């Protein structure tokens, strides 16, 4: 092919998932069976226990509806591949500047060394350093984090050239050293030196964190520490802090090879107890403004503090979409999946992310764009600022007429502080039409939705070498708290003026509205799941059949739906490269989440709607104690704290165990006709018991610290007995 043609070739391609025809046949059959079930329910309402029957019918109707909603994601998913060589060839000299935002908020839940791993991995991107700037927003306003960043800025002088010289991956030092070894990589001497240097820095930072404060000795190293002199200074009440560690006209640092380093900035926006700070959304908006003073790059990458780069080419992947001549001008953001480096083999708490990344996200991508999920996302600055799509106005991304502000660092710092105050946003559109949206625990989803509604599309990029690797919850309590925030926030979206069907009406495709609601309706699954976990088992030992007899032909659709639904979800897990055990863990987690996190998320929405309480943002723990960590590594579930959610988590399987035992007794004493009519319920409660076996084990068998606290065990035993006594009429 001639050169002329090559210039025209697209920078990425879109591939449809194969095997959709077979899937659609399956889906239609499945749906037919679901309709048969609902028909059976409506035409066979029993005289006794009528309300329980209706309850089950309503739950099934809900599940059927939710299943249909989920089909939008499975109907025609797409996958995207980039051609980075074409980008190199065509645009290498004129690639645009990229501003990278890292958000952290708590030096104890988010250990500074973890955050520094993230910062260093991003500074070492395979991208020209004078086009990169890294901003760390610290909502904890901790001088410990600042100190860690100061250390990281010094270490970067050695780390960045080392990464580039040997072209290593991943570029987060700790992970790199844990994976590679010196002899293997043929650069033993340098490897050993830099590893030692890293460990010394780690030691210094961790000593300071353990001590809990900055010593005079360290304070004297940098003028930046003076910012903490205001008394009293707390994380909730302090003036704005901006410190340029590398950059500005005067603080241009060269690495040990004489090559410049990316700009590096520490930001702690102003906080006062009188003003809401709007959590991460507030931090992001301050970052957008501060960076506009210092570097003002047209592309913004946003990551959470634990999301370390795992692929130094990600910027180029993202630019292949945004700079594509045909379609790039239509794309607002490029979302990468959230992957995790601390997963155990069978993903005790987090298997669902795997399926979301492999199935749901490509599904939404096919409907007009993947959602913005808060981390690992490349945005166009202008669109975050509120720009609407119009066919006529194209934004050409180029590094040609762009440069960082070359004023002296201290003037830039002073000007940046002005835009990082609490009062700056008063009377402006920030948090509404500009920047990330306020007032919702899932600021990411709602911001992405509003971008889609302004006419833009987005793409989802999932290269085989993961772009980012974060830290996922290592205890069940942490996982449930996070899931509560998500389910609460997502439900809040659909109940607010941003409901995709109303807000998006006439602006986005129907498929996209429905696609968004698959997430938004998570919390709504809680009540039907509760119903399904209790009612059939309750009826079981009371001798009331709720399903057709095994010998009746009506049994067929029920059996088909049950087995094929689980069979298909197993297939999806395996297709997403998970294991069978991943799937079992995942099914257990869905059950647990639906009855606990989602229920709490659901209730909190109700309370909010009637004016009681408002939603917050509890930061996920990224640190964990050693004892619990050992159990996590052995994939033993952790129940060791007295959380009200755990009462639910323990009660339901316990109740089902009792129901199963009593039901079995009934069947044995009453013989084959009872077995015939109660079989389905026996299987159902048996299924709940077996999938929740680790919970029962933690109640009765385990002796380690991860078992349920005595208070939780007692309350749940009593509650399970009480449920058993519910009279049926």
Ligand X SMILES: O=c1ccn([C@@H]2O[C@H](COP(=O)(O)OP(=O)(O)O[C@H]3O[C@H](CO)[C@@H](O)[C@H](O)[C@H]3O)[C@@H](O)[C@H]2O)c(=O)[nH]1
361 binds ligand X (CB under 6 A): no
Q: Per the annotation, does 174 bind a ligand?
A: no
Q: Per the annotation, does 89 bind a ligand?
A: no
Q: Which of 139, 169, 255, 317 binds ligand X (CB under 6 A)?
A: 139
Q: Which of 49, 56, 105, 684 binds ligand X (CB under 6 A)?
A: 105
Q: Which stretch binds ligand X (CB under 6 A): 103-111, 174-182, 186-194, 329-337?
A: 103-111
Name which of ligand X, Mn ion, none residue 245 binds, using a CB cut-off of 5 to 8 Å depending on partner kind.
Answer: none
CB of 49 to ligand X, least distance (A): 41
Closer Cβ to ligand X, 137 or 474, answer by number: 137
Six-digit token string for 546:
């709720």
Q: Which of 293, 619, 645, 723 binds ligand X (CB under 6 A)?
A: 619
Q: How many residues does the chain have?
A: 729
Q: Which stretch binds Mn ion (CB under 5 A): 21-29, 179-187, 297-305, 500-508?
A: 297-305
Q: Which stretch binds ligand X (CB under 6 A): 6-14, 481-489, 557-565, 663-671?
A: 481-489
Q: Are strands 331-335 and 457-460 parallel, antiparallel or unpaired?
A: parallel
Q: Which of 305, 479, 561, 582 binds ligand X (CB under 6 A)?
A: 305
CB of 316 to ligand X, least distance (A): 23
Q: Which of 104, 416, 458, 475 binds ligand X (CB under 6 A)?
A: 104
3-state SS, residue 716:
helix
CA neighbor of 69 nearest in space, from 525, 674, 569, 559: 525
302 binds Mn ion (CB under 5 A): no
110 binds ligand X (CB under 6 A): yes
Q: List binders of ligand X among 243-302 (CB under 6 A).
A: 279-280, 283
Sign for the CA dihedral angle at 707, 708, 711, 716 comes to: negative
308 binds ligand X (CB under 6 A): no
- Contact (CB, 8 A) for 77 and 366: yes
CB of 567 to ligand X, least distance (A): 31
Closer Cβ to ligand X, 87 or 283, answer by number: 283
x-or-dash string of contact with Mn ion, 595-624, rule CB under 5 A: -------------------------x----
Name which of ligand X, Mn ion, none residue 482 binds, using a CB cut-off of 5 to 8 Å depending on partner kind.
Answer: ligand X
In sequence order, what are the residues at sequence separation of 6 or more whose Cβ sits closer than 8 angstroms to the Cβ of residue 181? none
CB of 620 to Mn ion, least distance (A): 5
Residue 232: asked if its preceding bond is cis (omega within 30°), the reply is yes
x-or-dash string of contact with ligand X, 413-452, rule CB under 6 A: ----------------------------xxxx--------
Name which of ligand X, Mn ion, none residue 653 binds, using a CB cut-off of 5 to 8 Å depending on partner kind.
Answer: none
Closer Cβ to ligand X, 112 or 557, answer by number: 112
- Contact (CB, 8 A) for 335 and 307: no
Q: Which of 130, 174, 485, 593 binds ligand X (CB under 6 A)?
A: 485
Question: Tokens 């083999």 sit at which residue?
Answer: 345
Q: What angle do CA 525, 530, 534 make, to 5 degrees?
A: 150
CB of 291 to ligand X, least distance (A): 15
Q: Which of 103, 261, 300, 712 binds ligand X (CB under 6 A)?
A: 103
Q: Per the annotation, does 478 bind a ligand?
A: no
- Contact (CB, 8 A) for 312 and 162: no
* Pairwise CA distance, residues 357 & 359, whole Å: 6
537 binds Mn ion (CB under 5 A): no
339 binds Mn ion (CB under 5 A): no
483 binds Mn ion (CB under 5 A): no
Catalytic hit among 106, 138, 317, 444: 444
- Contact (CB, 8 A) for 175 and 341: yes
Q: In what order do the strands lie in the sheet with 241-246?
A: 241-246, 263-268, 132-138, 98-104, 299-304, 377-380, 331-335, 457-460
* Pairwise CA distance, residues 199 & 392, whole Å: 54
CB of 375 to Mn ion, least distance (A): 7
* Pairwise CA distance, residues 64 & 57, whole Å: 10
* Pairwise CA distance, residues 696 & 692, whole Å: 7
Catalytic hit among 99, 138, 139, 306: 139
- Contact (CB, 8 A) for 651 and 719: yes
Q: Per the annotation, does 196 bind a ligand?
A: no
198 binds ligand X (CB under 6 A): no
Six-digit token string for 485:
């925030």
Q: How far is CA 328 from CA 207, 236, 569, in A?
A: 48, 41, 35
CA neighbor of 304 nearest in space, from 519, 163, 434, 110: 110
585 binds ligand X (CB under 6 A): no
Task: Determine how many CB atoms are found less than 10 A away from the CB of residue 254.
Answer: 13
- Find the residue with minimal CB distance to ligand X: 374
Give one word for 431, left, alpha or beta, with left for phi > 0 and alpha for psi -120 to 50: left
Closer Cβ to ligand X, 532 or 598, answer by number: 598
CA neighbor of 113 nearest in space, from 196, 200, 182: 200
597 binds ligand X (CB under 6 A): no
- Contact (CB, 8 A) for 533 and 656: yes
Closer Cβ to Mn ion, 374 or 399, answer by number: 374
x-or-dash string of contact with ligand X, 149-188, rule CB under 6 A: ----------------------------------------
Q: Which stretch binds Mn ion (CB under 5 A): 24-32, 187-195, 299-307, 349-357?
A: 299-307
Name which of ligand X, Mn ion, none residue 110 binds, using a CB cut-off of 5 to 8 Å depending on partner kind.
Answer: ligand X
* Pairwise CA distance, residues 664 & 658, whole Å: 10
Q: Which stretch binds Mn ion (CB under 5 A): 169-177, 300-308, 431-439, 447-455?
A: 300-308
Any catalytic annotation for residue 444?
A: yes
Q: List binders of ligand X among 368-397 (CB under 6 A).
A: 374-375
Q: Per the annotation, does 306 bind a ligand?
A: no
Kindly determine how many residues on this chain lie close enough to bind Mn ion according to the rule CB under 5 A: 2
492 binds Mn ion (CB under 5 A): no
Backbone φ, ψ for residue 457 (5° rounding): -115, 170
Name which of Mn ion, ligand X, none residue 202 binds, using a CB cut-off of 5 to 8 Å depending on partner kind.
Answer: none
CA neighbor of 520 nearest in space, from 592, 598, 603: 598
Closer Cβ to ligand X, 102 or 132, answer by number: 102
CA neighbor of 367 nearest in space, from 225, 477, 531, 511: 511
DSSP 129: G
Sign for the CA dihedral angle at 508, 512, 513, 516 comes to: negative
133 binds Mn ion (CB under 5 A): no
CB of 487 to Mn ion, least distance (A): 16
Closer Cβ to ligand X, 277 or 329, answer by number: 277
Q: Which of 99, 304, 478, 490 binds ligand X (CB under 6 A)?
A: 304
- Contact (CB, 8 A) for 239 and 230: yes
Q: What angle do CA 262, 264, 267 make, to 5 degrees?
A: 155
CB of 339 to ligand X, least distance (A): 12
- Contact (CB, 8 A) for 268 and 240: yes
* Pairwise CA distance, residues 594 & 691, whole Å: 15
Q: In what order do the strands lie in the sheet with 308-309?
A: 308-309, 468-470, 339-340
- Contact (CB, 8 A) for 619 and 110: yes
- List residues with catalytic annotation: 139, 444
Binding site for Mn ion (CB under 5 A): 304, 620
Indicate the annotated binding residues for UDP-alpha-D-glucose: 109-110, 139
Binding site for ligand X (CB under 6 A): 103-105, 110, 137, 139, 279-280, 283, 304-305, 374-375, 441-444, 482, 485-486, 489, 617, 619-620
Indicate the annotated binding residues: 109-110, 139, 280, 304
């Amino acid at each position: 092919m001639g050169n002329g043609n090559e210039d025209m070739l697209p920078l990425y391609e879109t591939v449809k998932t194969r095997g959709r025809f077979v899937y659609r046949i399956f889906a239609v059959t499945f749906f037919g069976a679901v309709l048969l079930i609902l028909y059976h329910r409506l035409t066979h309402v029993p005289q006794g226990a009528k309300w329980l029957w209706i309850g089950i019918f309503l739950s099934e109707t809900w599940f059927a509806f939710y299943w249909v909603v989920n089909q939008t994601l499975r109907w025609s998913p797409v996958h995207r591949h980039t051609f980075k060589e074409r980008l190199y060839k065509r645009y290498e000299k004129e690639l645009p500047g990229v501003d990278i935002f890292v958000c952290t908020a708590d030096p104890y839940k988010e250990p500074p060394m973890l955050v520094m791993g993230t910062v260093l991995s991003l500074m070492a991107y395979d991208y020209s350093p004078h086009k990169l700037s890294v901003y760390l927003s610290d909502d904890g306003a901790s001088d410990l984090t600042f100190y860690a960043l100061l250390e990281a800025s010094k270490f970067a002088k050695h780390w960045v050239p080392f990464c580039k010289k040997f072209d290593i991956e991943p570029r987060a030092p700790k992970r790199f050293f844990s994976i590679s070894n010196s002899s293997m990589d043929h650069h033993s001497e340098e490897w050993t030196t830099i590893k030692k240097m890293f460990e010394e820095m780690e030691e210094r930072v961790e000593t300071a964190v353990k001590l809990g404060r900055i010593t005079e000795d360290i304070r004297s190293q940098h003028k930046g520490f003076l910012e903490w002199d205001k008394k009293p200074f707390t994380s909730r009440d302090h003036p704005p802090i901006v410190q340029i560690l590398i950059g500005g006209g005067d603080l241009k640092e060269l690495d040990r090879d004489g090559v410049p380093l990316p700009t590096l900035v520490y930001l702690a926006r102003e906080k006062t107890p009188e003003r809401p700070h709007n959590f991460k959304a507030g931090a992001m908006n301050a970052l957008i403004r501060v960076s506009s003073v210092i570097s003002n790059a047209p592309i913004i990458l946003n990551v959470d503090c634990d999301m370390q780069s795992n692929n130094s080419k990600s910027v180029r992947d993202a630019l292949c979409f945004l700079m594509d001549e045909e379609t790039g001008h239509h794309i607002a953001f490029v979302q990468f999946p959230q992957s995790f480096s601390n997963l155990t083999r069978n993903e005790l708490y987090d298997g669902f992310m795997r399926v979301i990344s492999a199935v749901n996200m490509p599904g939404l991508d096919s409907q007009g764009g993947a959602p913005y999920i808060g981390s690992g996302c490349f945005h166009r600055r202008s669109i975050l600022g509120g720009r609407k799509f119009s066919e006529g106005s194209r934004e050409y991304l180029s590094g040609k007429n762009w440069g960082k502000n070359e004023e002296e660092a201290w003037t830039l710092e002073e000007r940046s502080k002005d835009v990082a105050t609490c009062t700056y946003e008063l009377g402006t559109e920030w948090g509404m039409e500009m920047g990330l949206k306020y007032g919702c625990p899932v600021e990411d989803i709602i911001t992405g939705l509003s971008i889609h509604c302004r006419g833009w599309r987005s793409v989802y990029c999932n290269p085989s070498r993961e772009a980012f690797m974060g830290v996922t919850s290592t205890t069940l309590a942490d996982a449930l708290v996070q899931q509560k925030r998500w389910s609460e926030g997502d439900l809040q979206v659909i109940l607010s003026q941003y409901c995709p069907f109303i807000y998006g009406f006439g602006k986005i495709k129907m498929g996209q509205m429905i696609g968004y609601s698959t997430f938004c309706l998570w919390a709504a699954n809680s009540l039907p799941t509760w119903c399904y976990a209790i009612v059939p088992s309750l009826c079981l030992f009371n001798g009331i059949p709720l399903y057709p007899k095994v010998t009746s032909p009506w049994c067929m659709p029920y059996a088909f739906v049950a087995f094929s639904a689980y069979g298909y979800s197993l297939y999806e897990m395996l297709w997403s490269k998970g294991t069978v055990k991943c799937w079992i863990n995942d099914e257990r987690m869905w059950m647990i989440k639906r009855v606990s996190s989602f229920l709490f998320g659901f209730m909190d929405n109700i309370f909010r709607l009637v004016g009681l309480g408002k939603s917050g943002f509890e930061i996920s723990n990224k640190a964990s104690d050693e004892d619990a960590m050992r159990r996590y590594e052995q994939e033993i579930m952790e129940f060791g704290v007295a959380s009200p959610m755990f009462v639910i988590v323990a009660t339901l399987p316990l109740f089902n165990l009792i129901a199963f035992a009593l039901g079995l007794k009934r069947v044995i004493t009453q013989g084959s006709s009872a077995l015939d009519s109660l079989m389905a319920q026996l299987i159902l409660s048996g299924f709940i018991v077996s999938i929740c076996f680790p919970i029962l084990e933690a109640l009765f068998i385990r002796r380690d610290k991860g078992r349920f606290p005595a208070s939780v065990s007692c309350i749940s035993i009593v509650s399970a007995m009480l449920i058993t006594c519910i009279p049926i009429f």
